[in-house]
Amino acid sequence: SNLETLIQRLPKAELHLHIEGSLEPQLMWDLAQKHHVELPFSDVDAIKSAYQFDNLQSFLDLYYQGADVLRDEDDFFQLMWAYLCKCHEQNVLHAEIMFDPQTHTERGVSYDVFMPGFIKAIEKARDELGISVYLILSFLRHLSEESAIETLEKARPYYEHIKAVGLDSSELGNPPSKFERVFAQAKALGFKLVAHAGEEGPPEYIWEALHLLKVDRIDHGVRSIEDPELMAYLKQHQVPLTVCPLSNLKLCVIDQMSEHNILQLMNDGLRVTVNADDPSYFGGYLNENFMALAEHVNMQASDLITLVQNGFKASFLPEKTKQDWL
């Protein structure tokens, strides 16, 4: 269709992508074989069939189990390189990519294993594919703030490779207020700040992310719609929301794609972007997320263009570089 051609053709930015969530079943299988890790699946198709979730937690359980096959530097290189090749295929020219250090350090896999793997793939993509990448170090919110502080400290040798810090994992019961000190430390170090908020959690969590953590962007934020004052604030300050349509569907944040509120958020004047979140688990990369909206929500070509432009506007690229894409 015309919209499909438009989506494919437009140069795009991806702002909400968990690299561990881009681990495809085939690579998971191959790495399990390589390291003799036992998976509770009989073959690659069995992995794919297991991807049916009731909520965020049921997904996270599988996501952390899957990440256990990532053991040596080359595994992390392959993971990042596969994703960046996908970016190239889909005309994604800039990606701000989250990684969860604690998912690896808690299993005895250190920064000196995953960071060199990531960095080598990122440099190769910059040189050979012309893709720019920023890394976002994301804290697991089901763990303690002390663990987050230690995680930030251990990253010190790699600070020059990290643009921002974020907050992900189980939202309900783990409000942003739990991480006020570590976010203040990260801000003092010069990092940009993002946090998942208002995916499953209430609008209060979005207020906390804004006022206590002082984030530059909200990841998801679809529950903003429940709080008119919050909507007014997000509009006035043009705080970006990194919305992930297929994720919201797969994690039962919405029952059907046609019920997604993205157009309403956009028409109310918010700076909304479209993103993939965990593409291997949710059935699509960036273009498939745009296509799902084109098919099920009443999107015009002009809406899609606005969403794509918002991706660059909401990025952490220098203002001058952003202008080149707008």
User: Smallest gap, in angstroms, from Cβ of residue 128 to ligand ADE?
Assistant: 28
Q: Is 54 annotated as a binding residue?
A: no
Burial 257-291 (b: 16+ CB within 10 A, else e): beebbbbebbebebbbbbbbbbbbbbbbbbbbbbb
Q: 219: closest CA among 250, 242, 201?
A: 242
Cβ(57)–Cβ(142) under 8 Å?
no
Q: Is 30 annotated as a binding residue?
A: no
The interface region with Zn ion, picked from 42-50, 103-111, 249-257, 269-277 by CB under 5 A, is 269-277
Rounded to a whole number, what is the distance in angstroms from the first to the last CA of the chain?
A: 24
Q: Is 237 annotated as a binding residue?
A: no
The DSSP string of 129-146 is H--EEEEEEEEETTS-HH
Reading phi first (left if > 0) and then psi (alpha if -120 to 50, else beta), residue 277 is in left
Cβ(60)–Cβ(97) under 8 Å?
no
User: Smallest gap, in angstroms, from Cβ of residue 60 to ligand ADE?
Assistant: 6
Q: Which is nearer to ligand ADE, 56 or 162 (CB)?
A: 56
Q: Which is nearer to ligand ADE, 63 or 83 (CB)?
A: 63
Residue 71 contacts which entry, ligand ADE, Zn ion, none (Cβ below 5-8 A, type-dependent): none
Q: What does the DSSP 8-state code read for residue 70?
A: -
Residue 200 contacts which entry, ligand ADE, Zn ion, none (Cβ below 5-8 A, type-dependent): none
CB-nearest residue to Zn ion:
277
Residue 22 contacts which entry, ligand ADE, Zn ion, none (Cβ below 5-8 A, type-dependent): none
C-alpha dihedral (70, 91, 285, 326), degrees to nearest 10:
110
User: Smallest gap, in angstroms, from Cβ of residue 169 to ligand ADE?
Assistant: 5
Q: Does 277 bind Zn ion (CB under 5 A)?
A: yes
Q: Coil, strand or helix: which one is 32?
A: helix
CB-nearest residue to ligand ADE:
168
Residue 199 contacts which entry, Zn ion, ligand ADE, none (Cβ below 5-8 A, type-dependent): ligand ADE
Q: Which is nearer to ligand ADE, 86 or 196 (CB)?
A: 196
Give how far Cα 179 sits from Cα of 195, 205, 282, Å.
10, 12, 28
Side-chain-facing half-sphere of 257: CA atoms under 13 Å = 18
Q: Which is nearer to ligand ADE, 219 or 303 (CB)?
A: 219
Residue 170 main-chain phi, psi, to 5 deg: -60, 110
User: Smallest gap, in angstroms, from Cβ of residue 28 to ligand ADE?
Assistant: 15
150 has catalytic annotation: no
Q: 71: closest CA among 101, 32, 99?
A: 32
Catalytic residue among 14, 96, 199, 208: 199
Q: Which is nearer to ligand ADE, 67 or 152 (CB)?
A: 67
Q: Is 74 annotated as a binding residue?
A: no
Residue 254 main-chain phi, psi, to 5 deg: -130, 155
Q: What are the residues binding ligand ADE (CB under 6 A)?
A: 18, 21, 56, 63, 168-169, 196, 199, 247, 277-278
User: Smallest gap, in angstroms, from Cβ of residue 206 to ligand ADE?
Assistant: 14
Q: Is 35 annotated as a binding residue?
A: no
**Residues labelled catalytic:** 199
Q: Rule CB under 5 A: which residues touch Zn ion?
A: 277
Q: Which residues are annotated as a binding site?
A: 16, 18, 196, 277-278
